[in-house]
């Protein structure tokens, strides 16, 4: 048992991609609600130091409607100028024993810097984790106002986008090989 705990404590960081993980969002407008997702992202989490990051390729965001996606990419996110959305984890609080031990699960708060376009803010994201063998599943949701990140109002004459939305994630970290 002691050797297993030492192996977990010395384990390499965990990596995740869209292969068996998801980063998605939900927004509401005056005429409808819609969901979207990131088709391309990558991340890393070091359970020993509780440091990590996730990087979303901004042009990969889709709402599954071409004209809306074009406006999101070109007008709202200016993806040619700002090609990534980044969350850099700087701290974790809550039920940490399981993360460091490599077993169990719990509720945590992820603190880090979220950068969208050229605006960065320190945010706190409530999340849960569970170990699945040597893999760590992390799920959470963050509510945000898109205007807080300098994103222009994407509303059109026939439909107003409400300023509140949320991002939710379900990522599975794998040991680096």
pTM of the model: 0.89
Is residue 170 domain-resident?
A: no
Is residue 126 domain-resident?
A: yes
Please tell me the total count of domains within the chain: 1
Is residue 106 domain-resident?
A: yes
pLDDT tens for the chain, 177 residues: list them.
333 333 444 568 999 999 999 999 999 988 889 999 999 999 999 999 999 999 999 999 999 989 889 989 998 999 999 999 999 999 999 999 999 889 999 999 999 999 999 999 999 999 999 999 999 999 999 999 989 999 988 777 777 888 899 999 999 999 986
| DSSP secondary structure, 36-89, as one string | EEESSEEEEEETTTTEEEEEEEGGGEE-S-HHHHHHIIIIIS-TTT--EEEEEE
Q: What is the CATH number of the domain that holds 91?
A: 2.40.128.110
Is residue 148 domain-resident?
A: yes
Is residue 86 domain-resident?
A: yes
Is residue 90 domain-resident?
A: yes
- Give residue 55's domain range: 2-153
């Amino acid at each position: 048992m002691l050797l297993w705990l030492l192996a977990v404590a010395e384990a390499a960081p965990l990596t995740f991609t869209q292969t068996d993980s998801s980063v998605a969002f939900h927004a509401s407008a005056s005429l409808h609600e819609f969901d979207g997702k990131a088709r391309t992202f990558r991340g890393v989490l070091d359970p020993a130091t509780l440091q990590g990051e996730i990087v979303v390729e901004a042009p990969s965001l889709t709402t599954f409607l071409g004209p809306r996606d074009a406006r999101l990419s070109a007008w709202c996110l200016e993806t040619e100028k700002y090609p990534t959305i980044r969350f850099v984890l700087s701290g974790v609080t809550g039920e940490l024993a399981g993360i460091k031990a490599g077993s169990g699960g719990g509720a945590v708060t992820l603190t880090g810097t979220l950068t969208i376009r050229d605006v960065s803010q320190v945010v706190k994201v409530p999340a849960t984790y569970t170990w699945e063998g040597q893999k760590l599943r992390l799920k959470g949701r963050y509510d945000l106002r898109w205007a807080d990140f300098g994103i222009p109002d994407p509303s059109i004459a026939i439909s107003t986008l409400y300023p509140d939305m949320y991002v939710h994630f379900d990522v599975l970290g794998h040991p680096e090989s």
